[in-house]
Amino acid sequence: MNIIPDKYRDLLDRPIVVSLATLMKEGAPQVQPVWCNFDGTHILVNTEKGRQKYRNMSRRPSVTILAIDPDNALRWLEVRGTVAGITEEGAFEHIDELARLYLGVDKYPFHQEGDVRVIFKIVPTRVATIESTMPAEMQARAGVLRG
């Protein structure tokens, strides 16, 4: 198991919408924006049972998560991993926790009657990072640095 470097941990702790890549039944990649968080061991992704990412990760547990720093597009974290667990236990509380982080509200506002939520626990197997050494003035000209 690879550890998320402390220098890049903020990309999973801040409210950054990450890209989740999964594999469709026929093998084609599917990428979706998702909320996630990191519990120190697993990256946690919450979804509804029956959605495409649920079907993809249930069938093929290999995934990739890409988190790009919204303040500097030349700083990012790629985590390849394996789904190590799927649970309904605590999933509604977890989506509320993510709603507090991402939306600043106590309860996830999009709950629907009959929803069954699940948490996918992803174990990192490969971690890649980059932080450009390009001078800030060049990054700003290239449109990759906010500030």
- Write the pLDDT tens digit of every residue in 20-47: 999 999 999 999 999 999 999 999 999 9
The pLDDT-based confidence of 140 (bands split at 50, 70, 90) is low
Write down the domain spans for the chain. 6-142
User: What's residue 3's pLDDT?
Assistant: 85
Count Cβ atoms within 10 A of the Cβ of residue 110 and give its class: 0-12 exposed, 13-18 middle, 19 or more buried: exposed
> Is CATH 2.40.30.130 the right assignment for the domain spanning 6-142?
no
The pLDDT tens digits for 71-123 are: 988 999 999 999 999 999 999 999 999 999 999 999 999 998 999 999 999 99
Q: Which two tokens stand for residue 83?
A: 């789904």
Q: What is the pLDDT of residues 56-85, one digit of tens each?
A: 999 999 999 999 999 988 999 999 999 999
Closest to 20 (Cα-Cα) out of 64, 50, 52, 78: 64
Q: Yes or no: say if 13 and 135 are a contact pair by the CB < 8 Å rule.
A: no
- For the chain, the average pLDDT equals 91
Percent of the chain with pLDDT over 90: 83
